[in-house]
Structure formats: C-alpha cells, structure tokens
Amino acid sequence: MSREPRGPNEKLGTVLALAGISNAGLARRVNDLGAQRGLTLRYDKTSVARWVSKGMVPQGAAPHLIAAAIASKLGRPVPLHEIGLADADPAPEVGLAFPRDIGQAVRSATELYRLDLAGRRGGVGIWQSLAGSFSVSAYATPASRWLISPADSSVARDPKDATDAEDGTTAASATGAAAADAIPPQRVGHSDVTKLREAAEDARRWDSKYGGGDWRSSMVPECLRVDAAPLLLGSYSDEVGRSLFGATAELTRLAGWMAFDTGQQEAAQRYYIQALRLARAAADVPLGGYVLASMSLQATYRGFADEGVDLAQAALERNRGLATARTMSFFRLVEARAQAKSGDGPACGAALKSSEGWLERSRAGDPDPSWLDFYSHERFAADAAECYRDLRLPRQVRRFTEQALARPTEEFVRSHGLRLVVSAVAELESGNLDAACAAGARAVEVANRISSARTTEYVRDLMRRLEAYRDEPRVAELREQARPLLVTPA
C-alpha cells in the first residue's frame, strides 16, 4: 500500500539516476531486501514509477528498504530526506551519530537501546527496516573524532541534568505539583557498575560457547535497555561515571559483536559506533582500540579491507605506551587479517611478526583487560592461518591450524568450528580430499549445534570449494550432513 500522491518525487528520481538503478532494478532490490527480513513484497517497475512520478509513499518498511537498496549501490548511507521520503515513518538514524557533547552522547546511546525494543514487539522493527545495509563510510567520523580526542574532560552528571534528560523539561518549567511529584533520578554507585560488568562477562562466555544466536532476544540488548540506560540517565560522580561508561561500552560492543556474528551488519555498526563513544567517555583508550578492532574485522569481512587496515592502525597508534603487550598483539593481528584480505603479503607478514613479538613479551602478571581473556597463542595461530588462507598459502595454513587446534576447548566452541573449516580448506588446496572431508565433518558437527551466521557461511564456502568433487561419495556424505546449513531461510 502507498499513501496519497503529493506530486512528483524529483529527489528520488535524481538519486536513482545518479546510482544508475532502473525502476525494475529498484523494485527487485527492495523485494530481495524484504525477503531477507521475512517480508513478502511484490513491487514492480510500475510501483517505482508511481513513487517517482506521482510522489506516492509506500508504507511500512519500504521507505527504509528503498534507502538501503540505493545505499548499497552508492556505497554510502542514504537518509530518507535525500530521496524525498522523510515524511514516511521516522527514519531510524539513531546510533550513527558520534556526538562531541557528553549529554548528547548519552541520549544517542540510550535512544539506540530503546529503539531496539521495536524488533521484539512483533511486526516490522528497526532492524527489519534497515534490511542489513552497511556502509563503511559511517565509521569515518567516529574514528577521526576518537583519534583527535579519546577522552571527555568530565562525565559527572548531577541530579538536575538527569531530571532534565528524563522528562525533556528545563528546571524553570518544572514547577508546582509536577516538580513536587517528580521522581528523583537514580544515584549510581560502584555496585551498579559491577552488575553490568558481571553481565558482560557472562554474556561473553555464552557468546563464545554458543554463538551470537538470536541476538535480539539475548540478554545483552535487554540488559542495555533495562539496566544500563537508566543508569546512564541517572546522576553520578566523574569517577563512577567513567566506570559506568566503560562497563556500558563493553556491553554495547558485545551487542554489536553478536549482531555481527548473526549477520545483522547494520545493527552491529550502530552498536559499535556507540560503544566507541562510550569508551571515549570512560577515558579507556585500550577499550576504544578494542572497539576499533571490532570495526576493522567487520569492515574486512564485508569486503572493505583497506578501511579495515585503517581502523586497526588507528587502534594501534592511540594505544602505544598505554595498552598491555597482549592487547597490542591483538590489534596487530587484526591489522594482519585486513592486510591479508587486501592481498598485501609483505604487510601481512610484518603485522603477524609484530603481533607474535608482542605476544611473546606478555606476562601472566600483566594488567590485561578482562575483555581480552579469549586471546591466546592458539587464537593467534588461528587468525594467522586465516591470513595465509586469504593469501592462498596452504602449507602455512596447515602449520598454523595444527597449532590452533592443539588444545581444543569447550569454552570457545565457535572458534574451534571456524578453525576446523580453515583446516579443511587448507587440506583441500593441498590435494588431500580425505583429510578435507574429515575436518569438514567435524566443523559441520560444531556448526549444527551453535547459532552463528559466520560459522555457517564458512561451511558454505567450504562446500562451494568441494563442488568440483560432488560425485565423490565422501563429499556427498558431507553435503548431506551439512544440508541444514545450506538451506537459506525463507
């Protein structure tokens, strides 16, 4: 359905011409994006012609899907006002801003947490509307502002600030009975922050063992909405506030990571941006670097390896002399992943050598952050193997994969599954079909018992590589075992 016509939508027509998208092409893209979110749409070239020539505005998620379709072609975000659809249902631009002002930063984060609720009440929520669109250019401003100033001067929040933020009024307007009946803002203490940190630790363990799962119904977004948002909007001293922002940044980054793991790239991007802003408010430069490293991995995974290198190097440069040796090792490893994906073997090798050197210098007594407890020599070897897989050097892949699989653990089930797939690919490229199928079978067994879109995609990539051997009984057996993973949900 569409709203009443209002005259030609010249803005939409102009942007479609700029993007080189025909009416039929736009209709097809919108229908496909809708299908990815479980929506059955039947737009055609005539529908688009009505949007452009008569200014008809489609209802529901369609305006956001139109913007996402054009954005994917242009390679940048496309706000609704640019295509003349700003008076459609409000565009969920929330989460993309990186405000300079700390008060605005609190509002930006809490708005994102609250808006996520729309995805759990039935119908079409924000993430369905966004249709998984991703634009690496959205990271440019957050990264540059964080590099210029990685800490706010003060984050203390007094009761007046908290009250004004909650009801949207000024102190002068809060008079009479309304002021007398006002509920005093929550005074935040260290015990409140401790609960958030414990929630983050529990969620990290759950994510590593079972995958991101249905992240919208997981504990992390709910914790951000129900627990973290009221605390951010409360009152607190500068000391408590720094700690609060750090704990909330950890949870927000984790929400982004879970979204990334389940293929919700647009949601992940917005959580990452807010996590970086909160880390700046916490004056926690290593944590900010960790968020940038997460952004780098996402950009690299989405095919923007050069930007992935930039984001990883930003994390490195700001943390020289601040982060522990193990933290610096991880940042260098993330850079190596991006360098490998870009095809720069020498740069990747240099980054891996530096990463290994930093890791060798780390000691058990170092004050490593708790969020880095997953990083070990085995994790280094696993990522090094992926680097050499991207560089098509199977002998190196096999060597590092053997190290990565030396000590399998039930604590990091997803990582173990990913390593098995990489091992299978290396065996296949070395001409060892039996070994490739054996490793593949073990990887499929892991993938079938966790919920991780990345792991599923790794398995699908392996099966595509095995397509040339599809008549082999071993491959046919593996394909049957992987069948549930190869079916794209309707």
Give the residue from 283, 314, 332 where a domain finishes.
283
Same domain, 215 and 70: no
Averaged pLDDT, 463-487: 88
Whether pTM exceeds 0.85: no
Give the residue from 283, 302, 332 where a domain finishes.
283
How far, rounded to the nearest angstrom, does the alpha carbon of residue 440 sit from its chain's CA centroid? 27
Render 189-251 in DSSP notation, one character per residue: -HHHHHHHHHHHHHHHHHHHHH-S-SGGGSHHHHHIIIIIHHHHTSBB-HHHHHHHHHHHHHH
Give the residue from 283, 301, 328 where a domain finishes.
283
Same domain, 42 and 98: no
**CATH number of residue 445's parent domain:** 1.25.40
| Domain hosting residue 474, numbered range | 381-490
CB atoms within 10 A of CB 451: 18
- In a domain? residue 61: yes
Burial class (CB in 10 A: 0-12, 13-18, 19+), 147: middle
Same domain, 100 and 79: no
CA distances from 22 to 13, 28, 135, 403 (A): 10, 10, 22, 51
Q: Which residue from 111, 104, 96 is spatially nearest to 142, judged by alpha carbons?
A: 96
Asked whether the predicted pLDDT for residue 47 surpasses 60, the reply is: yes
- In a domain? residue 345: no
CB of 146 within 8 A of CB of 289?
no
Same domain, 389 and 279: no
CB of 310 within 8 A of CB of 335?
no
Confidence category of residue 34, pLDDT binned at 50, 70, 90: confident
Burial class (CB in 10 A: 0-12, 13-18, 19+), 123: exposed
- In a domain? residue 129: no
The whole-chain average pLDDT of the chain stands at 84
Split into its structural domains, the chain has a count of 3
Same domain, 263 and 407: no
Which residues, in sequence order, are bridge partners of residue 58? 2
- In a domain? residue 339: no
Structure confidence by residue, pLDDT tens digits, 269-299: 999 999 999 999 999 999 999 999 999 999 9
What is the reported pLDDT for 117? 44
Same domain, 400 and 437: yes
Which residues, in sequence order, are bridge partners of residue 2? 58
Lowest mean pLDDT among 29-33, 302-306, 470-474: 29-33
What is the reported pLDDT for 92? 54
**CATH number of residue 65's parent domain:** 1.10.260
Same domain, 385 and 489: yes
What is the reported pLDDT for 1? 46
Same domain, 278 and 160: yes
Structure confidence by residue, pLDDT tens digits, 311-339: 999 999 999 999 999 999 999 999 999 99
Amino acid at 294: S
What is the reported pLDDT for 174? 35
Same domain, 386 and 272: no
CA–CA dist 339, 371 (Å, integer): 24
- In a domain? residue 354: no
Structure confidence by residue, pLDDT tens digits, 126-173: 554 554 467 888 999 999 999 998 889 999 998 766 655 544 433 333
